[in-house]
Amino acid sequence: MCKKSESIINLAVALTKFNGEVHQIAKDAKNPHFKNRYATLDNIVEEIRPILQKHGLSVLQIPGGDGENVIMKTMLLHESGEWLESEPLVMRPVKNDPQGVGSCITYARRYSLCSMLSLSTGEDDDGNHASQPQNSYKAPQSTPQSAPQNNAPSSPPPSKPTSSVPYSFKREAYKLREEQYMDWNDLQKVAERVLGRKLKKVTELQDEKEWELIVNELKSFNLDPALPF
């Protein structure tokens, strides 16, 4: 749960006015790996800062880490002294070097800022499909046993079968998408390139053999940490 000041009445009014004026942020850069466009952090800040200031709002973003992960907190402040702080956003850099950590911080700032202020950058995030488990395992229901007819000690009940969720290339592709900080448009473009055809929605693809090809492509792809997010 996010943290907040004792009262956020003034902040809430100002944020409502801000959301009434801010528009969709234009995509001003191109990712050369996926051939798609995205809104940079600089462009987002440039677009929203005048509107924030107009309504007495400002944003403070505090990066941290634990040696392996980047941890980002975002605070929304109002001139009245009221404030709202997000839950920490934890991300692991693709490479644990200065460039990788810097890119991860920029990425975390951009996504945390957009989430805090409910900004639209025109990205197609089909997270609802991603969060649904695939090939979920259902434990078999045991048949009721009749009660013993004598006083002889009954045998111990048979142990229940154990099983893990079957491996899914689709779930593996979703995992690799998160690890490589790709949005759903990125994954869609990779899938279309590998399969050689247009897809309505990559999340609707069900053929595990096709997902295997996509996973192999994602595993061979090394995201350049020097690229801007």
**pLDDT tens string 97-118:** 888 888 899 889 988 998 899 8
What is the predicted pLDDT for the residue at 160?
54
What is the pLDDT at residue 36?
58
Strand ranges (DSSP E) for the chain?
A: 3-4, 29-31, 36-38, 57-65, 70-78, 83-85, 89-91
Find, among 138, 119, 148, 165, the residue nearest to 27 by Cα: 119
The whole-model pTM stands at 0.52
pLDDT at residue 165, as a whole number: 59
Tokens of 212: 């295997």
Predicted pLDDT at 61: 93
As a whole-number percent, the residues of the chain with pLDDT over 90 amount to 26
Asked if 185 contacts 201 with a C-beta cutoff of 8 angstroms, the reply is: no
Strand partners, 31: 36
> CA triplet 32, 74, 24: central angle to 5 degrees?
50
Q: Are 77 and 15 in contact (CB under 8 A)?
A: no
pLDDT less than 50: residues of the chain:
124-140, 147, 163, 223-229
Q: Residue 30's pLDDT is what?
A: 56
Tokens describing residue 184: 């759903």
Express as a percent the part of the chain with pLDDT over 70. 69
User: Among 191, 137, 186, 225, which Cα is nearest to 37's?
Assistant: 186
Check residue 151 and give its pLDDT: 55
Per-residue pLDDT at 168: 85
